[in-house]
Every structure is written in structure tokens, then in C-alpha cells.
Amino acid sequence: MKIVNSPVEMKNLSITLQRSGKTIGFVPTMGALHQGHLSLLNIAAKSTDATVMSIFVNPSQFGPGEDYDKYPRTFELDSKKAQDAGCDILFAPTAQDMYPPNYSSYVDVAKLDTKLCGATRPDHFRGVCTVVLKFFNIVNPQIAVFGQKDAQQLIVLRRMVSDFNLSVSVESGPVIREKDGLAMSSRNKYLTPHERRDAPLIYKGLKGAKELFDSGERDGDKLIEMIKTHYKSSAMFTPEYIEVVDIVTLEPLKEIKDKALIAVACKTSESKTRLIDNIVLGGEL
């Protein structure tokens, strides 16, 4: 595995690969790698000749008071995990590489970026879209793979790719979970023992809603009430939002006529960790 820090070197390497007829699969991450990240690398490897994984804790997607400074940074361990998983190139630029002095260009995806997480994290998706567009221009992949756990991010990035006529296919990988159902996340390391004990209830509520949907329920409010019933049994987290939305527009759905996304965000009571999860009804993203 080759480790590259310079955007210029990475861009030149991508050009060399493509001139030799090789296709590139790309998996952007912020590090603190877990099996969820590595599963995306496996998806990329199945349909491309060379895989690139980025590790970059992107400052522009963190708001004031969020966990940018304490976000886990475990580069040596991450490098070994990526190499063992078959990564060909690990791209790890610095913040100054990506946002040099006088940097002033950003990407906004109107409407979608203010829904769900965007309602309480202003400019979060502005930062996500900006850095991903920069990565696409540097790495120039044919395929980029993102996890479904960040469903809104996936939907927003697909809109950006479509709107800008970018020559990259955005693919999704399934949510990878712990044995008790908790969605794998780098932020799970923040959880206290009490929070970790109750955190699987987040997915249990989503499963309960899906079971209700599979039995014929199509009323969005009733599905939300099912989830709330599960969440009321724990004092270790409080829902920030529970919404049933359209998988393209992210608009709330009172009645589900086709596919729908149930998305939740919860804040834990002791470590104040923000956990997100989701489930798709009636199909896939």
C-alpha cells in the first residue's frame, strides 16, 4: 500500500493509473477505521482496478462546540487496517493541503442540506460536499462508496454529483452493526458503559417500525410513535429527531406510498455523544 500526503502527488498518481487503463474506486473517511469503513473498501475493490481510501478529519464539516479537536485520530492503526483490507493507496492530506491560505470556495446543496441533521448542524453538509468535491477532483475515481449509515450524506452527495454532471458513480454500502445491533461508528468510542448498554435500543426501535411497515402500516406518524415507545425505556439518550422522509427530497411523509427512509439522531445523556441511524422501507437507497 502506498501512502500519499500531497494532493498534487495524488492527482498525478491517479492520472498515471488511468492512462494505463486502470479504474479507481474511492472510499473517503475521517479515520478511526472500523469494519464499516473496510466493508466499503471491499465494495470498491470488486469493480475497480485500484482502491484509494482517504483519511482526513475535515474541519469545515464541524460546527462550533463540536468534536473536531477530540475526534479520534489513530493513523498508524488505521494504516495497518487499510493495508490488511487490501487498500492500494492511502491518501492522507493535511488541513493546510486541503484549505490553503485564502481558500474561499464552498459547495451548497440547497434544501437537502437543511433537513434532518442539517437542521441542527448548519454548514455541516456544506463542508462535506466541499471536501468530497475536492477529493473527486484530486482522486478522479470512477466509483466512490459511502456507507448507508450516513444516509442523508449519501443522498446529498448524489444530488451534488447529478447537479454538477460529475463522472463518478456514487454507490452505497449497508450499515455494518455490532452483534447487539448498534451501528458501527467512530464516535462509539465516546460512549460510557451505561450508554453503550442502552444504545442498541436505537436500532431496536427502527426494527420495530420496519416490522410494523411490513405488516401493512403506511402511516408515518404511527411508525414514529412505535420508535418513540422503544426510546422512552432508556434515560441514556434523547432523540434529536425521528423522521419518515422521501429518499430523494428528504421531505416528511405522512403516508408511505413507495420507498421511505426512517432516520433518527439521538444525543446521549452522559458523554453527550450524537448517534445517528436509519432504516429504508420498501427497497434500498
Question: What number is the average pLDDT over the span 20-48?
Answer: 98
Percent of the chain at pLDDT above 90?
100
Cut 0.85: pTM above it: yes
In the block, cell 493513523 appears at 75
Q: How confident is the model at residue 90 (pLDDT cuts 50, 70, 90)?
A: very high
Q: How confident is the model at residue 120 (pLDDT cuts 50, 70, 90)?
A: very high
Q: How confident is the model at residue 131 (pLDDT cuts 50, 70, 90)?
A: very high
Strand partners, 261: 245, 280
33 and 151 housed in the same domain: yes
Q: What is the mean pLDDT of the chain?
A: 98
198 and 256 housed in the same domain: yes
**Active-site amino acid positions:** 37
Please give the pLDDT value at position 43: 98
Please give the pLDDT value at position 63: 95
- The C-alpha atoms of residue 283 and residue 117 are separated, in whole angstroms, by 22
Question: What number is the average pLDDT over the span 35-54?
Answer: 98
190 and 168 housed in the same domain: no
Of 173, 196, 218, which residue is a domain's last?
173
154 and 38 housed in the same domain: yes
17 and 144 housed in the same domain: yes
Strand partners, 241: 265
Give me the helices (H) in the chain, please: 7-19, 35-47, 75-84, 95-98, 124-139, 151-163, 193-198, 201-214, 220-231
Q: How confident is the model at residue 24 (pLDDT cuts 50, 70, 90)?
A: very high
Write out the residue range of the structural domain in which residue 153 sits: 2-173
- The C-alpha atoms of residue 161 and residue 156 are separated, in whole angstroms, by 9
95 and 147 housed in the same domain: yes
196 and 166 housed in the same domain: no
Q: Indicate whether 284 belongs to any domain.
A: no
Q: Indicate whether 58 belongs to any domain.
A: yes
Of 173, 201, 218, which residue is a domain's last?
173
- The C-alpha atoms of residue 47 and residue 57 are separated, in whole angstroms, by 27
Q: Please check whether residue 239 is in contact with residue 212, taking contact to mean a CB–CB distance below 8 angstroms.
A: no
> What is the per-residue DSSP string for 25-89?
EEEEE-SS--HHHHHHHHHHHHH-SEEEEEE---GGGPPTTSSTTTS---HHHHHHHHHHTT-SE
Please give the pLDDT value at position 38: 98
- The C-alpha atoms of residue 166 and residue 185 are separated, in whole angstroms, by 28
187-218 pLDDT per residue, tens: 999 999 999 999 999 999 999 999 999 999 99
8 and 144 housed in the same domain: yes
Q: How confident is the model at residue 251 (pLDDT cuts 50, 70, 90)?
A: very high
Q: How confident is the model at residue 102 (pLDDT cuts 50, 70, 90)?
A: very high
Please give the pLDDT value at position 13: 98
